[in-house]
Structure 1
């Protein structure tokens, strides 16, 4: 590690001190949503999509992507601890296994368990933006984008820079991040390294998290480009009551490696991206931290995938097409040696009917060696009523296959079920978007009718949990959101950003007498999120975030977080953050008590090359 840090420090000698350009002036309406085939501007999407840009990432009182996502409307974050050690992410009342995580369009699903979905080997400082697609994503991204999909986007730049961030706080928490760009001719490259650790906020909640991320790309000519990525994360943590309240000494260590290589061909009316990627996840779990012989699981999962996605334009509109194949393997002392192959074909069409109406429809056909062929159609219709108002509606079928843990796990508190069938759902939504003069507002109603919902159940506390298929479950709800952002001015005090959202979700799952369920009856029910970013002078920013959360059959709670930045976009900046200022007692996952009021503070060093 010392040698690595020395290399990064040397890397910074290429640079001269220069103030960073603020990302505030980015026009969110013109951002192109990074889907794999047909890419549409954010303002023209006929879907409920949330966009978290660089400014929001930098000013939110959060130390991890998981914590940032907790402020996205309709997203339910269930953390086991702080700063992203482990978290489950649900969308629109869906479980963590029903959300698909992606990195630059690459699927991060782990065949062993959905609990590894957030093992993202990218430091926060390297993330350019996050796109959250709410609702069925199977037609767009394939199986497992059941209740939604989250795509983390990084970017390559022509500019040289070095960012250094460090912080410390309560619970013996500390961390440091290095991120740099050193383009050479036509070759662009980013390298980043981060390290975080803590003694823990209660017994056996200590952690150490390391990330290494490298990506590079070259434009061979005006038509051809190559891009590659390799990343690694190591997460080791005390897992007090993570999977069972009966064992406070649980411990886990996870190492994830991700590598990809892609080629892009861009012609005037034709686009094609071909990509290969590999993901490896090693998971060591102990029921008693210092007694591996008492009970221990060792899992190594591997994913090999090939994809080709593209589009072409004709007088009939834009046609998107794609094909994928994915091999999933698992070696486990508990689940056994398993493997399966998934393949898929995508086809969709975007048509503009005059200047106001657009229709996008398509189908995804998936073949799984365990379940055969499945087909998932979907369509959206958008109506641009005027320059400010857009109305939309859509329908889609979504699909999720069981993980190997769902099927085969054997443990003292959990047992798999190899008779499970995949989850399927019919989805419908209707909404309206309005945007004018820095304001954005959206109102949407959604309905998800699920067949064969996979839920972990047990008849009593003495019996292990086991997943079962429920025949039919209906989720429906509404989301209302208001967002405002203005470019900074010389005003002494200025509201630079304001947001407020409310989500209500209803589930009609009927609990069977004498049967306890683990996840379905703790789904998000009421969620209110508010925030205001205030600029004071030219260098001071004060961000306040508030959340009111109520889950089904659980007590509601209110949280307030704050962050103050000084000279964030300058050469040397300082920040201070406070979480849970109200000192609320609350639980997000299982029976794990989250910490009360806690603080951290740090610095930012921005080194850019001069022109």
Structure 2
């Protein structure tokens, strides 16, 4: 067996960092646009531009060992719970309902972007991760924080999870899986790409997939039934890529105390449709732009009690239309302009939210000039200072400062040392569930006095990128003002109430990666400390803003014990902040392990044994919501 190229990308500070350990053709991000360059091109474009080339290139990769889940088919957010850059708090499982948080923020502060466009769900940030796209079509996620989030993110004040469209390559697979809890899964994916003619540099690609899974669940009343179908066509040239995509996803799942702490068995039935057109273009010298447009329709049917559905249920339908563009234009060897713009319009129909405030238009424009001073052909200092302008037709506008200084040195052995200092601001407005429902009754009580949220981030980061190892570190201090949190009071009949809070967060991050002879490793430690002010003594518990780990470790490993075997292990240990609603302890240790056997007699056949939550940890990731139990599976895949 030929050992596959393993690339681990780490996002620390306000820049996207990289580490690659083998030569050959690699996918890289040039600015905010994906392009293909060989390893030779990266390091040998001329001695004069070597530092600039290293600074602008990000090699795509994953920050976890495992890419596929154990209890369902793979989605764009699968295994993010083991990613050292984010904290994923799931109900049932990550692919059922996932709250993705970054650096101690909450799910509402995290944006998801595909191409240049941020996907918005105006009802609640609980559903922004409903992305009906086959993972084969997308790059590994890049985690944008600080300056990059302020520049490229929309309505996401702390961080963004960003994906790019991959070039289509002829390949396919079919998979069937079974497991405990009556789990079964079936999946087929196929893609084809061909040149228009022998002399043409243009390629046409077609790609599609269908996936489904169902299970009784790892705990009682934790069943699921998922289905997804997606497809795209692509036109690929030397300097451009155009994609037209449509995807549909339907998910039913149940869980005790899914959103409320009242000991009932709740369910949700979600349907998501996404139509998207994306164009990437490179031009001139180190210049590019990308344009994205999408239409997203999401339906949510929530049932408070599956045994007595008429006691309370709600229907929501949201529609979002958006167009976005981003890019980088190089004006000279020392001066460039980074920019992004997004215009979005949404609307909602709901049986439980008011009928007055049911639509909103969003506008965001960001401009960040970049100036580079080269001390030598191997050392440079880059300054970026600009601003972002956010507005809606229903809220006050906001101007946010974006700035950083990056020192970078390319050493004679091609190792890279980087230091960055940044200050950035970002802003967002509350979703309809937080601001558009009843303020005096109901399970989920809104707050029509919520103001625009603002976040300010000061950060110092350092990285050392060597031939076979890399270390990234960062320390940051963030001020979140008017952050919308969901809280609980023992004297209230409501399950959750939207309340504003001011929070100051001190954070430290450390990530180390290494490639040994037969093992690839990634490990991390994160520290968070918060100081909060709710201005309300009646609040007894926070479901989200104060549900964070002051200490968190991760360790991922890919081991190749022989030509026909591969072992992947992800581990996470956390010490969670105390919460009066949490049943059980405040520490947890999770392990996801996969053993893959490639029978040498059958080329393309994979036999995969996998286990998630191997130690049957019962930790409540959301206070008051039961944690998942262990899940085991056997999957047989054939790849061509």
TM-score (norm 2): 0.83
SS in 2 for 1:594: coil
Does the CA contact (< 8 Å) of 2:71 and 2:632 recur in 1? no
Residue 575 of structure 1 pairs with residue 608 of structure 2:
yes
Residue 466 of structure 1 pairs with residue 497 of structure 2:
yes
CA shift in 2, pair 1:23/1:336, >3 Å: farther
- For 1:414 and 1:545, locate their aligned partners in 2 and report how far apart those are by CA, in whole Å: 36
Which residue of structure 2 lines up, in the alignment, with residue 330 of structure 1? 348
CA shift in 2, pair 1:35/1:268, >3 Å: closer
SS in 2 for 1:250: strand
* Residues 347-496 of structure 1 aligned to structure 2 (within 5 Å): 347-354=367-374, 355-387=379-411, 388-410=416-438, 412-464=442-494, 465-470=496-501, 472-485=502-515, 494-496=517-519
CA shift in 2, pair 1:283/1:43, >3 Å: farther
Does the CA contact (< 8 Å) of 1:60 and 1:563 recur in 2? no
Residue 603 of structure 1 pairs with residue 636 of structure 2:
yes
Stretch of structure 1 that moved more, 456-465 or 67-76:
456-465
Residue 294 of structure 1 pairs with residue 311 of structure 2:
yes
Aligned equivalent of 2:62, options 39, 53, 68: 53
* Residues 122-137 of structure 1 aligned to structure 2 (within 5 Å): 122-135=133-146, 137=148
Q: What whole-Å deviation, never above 9, does each CA across 1:298-323 have from its counterpart, x for those lacking one?
A: 11101111223333222242212343
Aligned equivalent of 2:597, options 546, 566, 587: 566
Which residue of structure 2 lines up, in the alignment, with residue 32 of structure 1? 28
CA shift in 2, pair 1:559/1:392, >3 Å: same
Q: How many residues align?
A: 578
CA drift at 1:127: 4.1
* Residues 105-504 of structure 1 aligned to structure 2 (within 5 Å): 105-135=116-146, 137-157=148-168, 159-184=169-194, 185=196, 186-219=203-236, 225-269=241-285, 270-289=287-306, 291-315=308-332, 316-337=334-355, 338-354=358-374, 355-387=379-411, 388-410=416-438, 412-464=442-494, 465-470=496-501, 472-485=502-515, 494-504=517-527
Q: What whole-Å deviation, never above 9, does each CA across 1:250-306 have from its counterpart, x for those lacking one?
A: 221111111112344443245343332111101111112254433221111011112
CA shift in 2, pair 1:25/1:402, >3 Å: closer
CA shift in 2, pair 1:110/1:454, >3 Å: same
Does the CA contact (< 8 Å) of 2:406 and 2:420 recur in 1? yes
Could you list the runs of 5+ residues in structure 1 that have no partner in the other structure? 1-18, 487-493
Does the CA contact (< 8 Å) of 1:95 and 1:523 recur in 2? no
Does the CA contact (< 8 Å) of 1:567 and 1:574 recur in 2? yes
Does the CA contact (< 8 Å) of 2:63 and 2:522 recur in 1? no
Q: What whole-Å deviation, never above 9, does each CA across 1:480-539 have from its counterpart, x for those lacking one?
A: 1111135xxxxxxx5321111110000011565442233222122110001222111112
Aligned equivalent of 1:71, options 82, 91, 101: 82
Which residue of structure 1 lines up, in the alignment, with residue 199 of structure 2? none
- For 1:192 and 1:35, locate their aligned partners in 2 and report how far apart those are by CA, in whole Å: 30
SS in 2 for 1:115: helix
Stretch of structure 1 that moved more, 561-570 or 400-409:
561-570
CA shift in 2, pair 1:197/1:563, >3 Å: same
Which residue of structure 2 lines up, in the alignment, with residue 13 of structure 1? none
Stretch of structure 1 that moved more, 84-93 or 283-292:
283-292
SS in 2 for 1:97: helix
SS in 1 for 2:518: strand
- For 2:204 and 2:595, locate their aligned partners in 1 and report how far apart those are by CA, in whole Å: 37
SS in 1 for 2:151: helix
Could you list the runs of 5+ residues in structure 2 that have no partner in the other structure? 9-17, 21-25, 43-51, 197-202, 580-585
- For 1:169 and 1:233, locate their aligned partners in 2 and report how far apart those are by CA, in whole Å: 22
CA drift at 1:120: 1.5
- For 1:536 and 1:59, locate their aligned partners in 2 and report how far apart those are by CA, in whole Å: 20
Stretch of structure 1 that moved more, 497-506 or 246-255:
246-255
- For 2:268 and 2:64, locate their aligned partners in 1 and report how far apart those are by CA, in whole Å: 33
Q: What whole-Å deviation, never above 9, does each CA across 1:52-96 have from its counterpart, x for those lacking one?
A: 439945478785454511111141111111251111011111001
Does the CA contact (< 8 Å) of 1:129 and 1:154 recur in 2? no
- For 1:24 and 1:177, locate their aligned partners in 2 and report how far apart those are by CA, in whole Å: 25
TM-score (norm 1): 0.87
Does the CA contact (< 8 Å) of 2:149 and 2:158 recur in 1? no
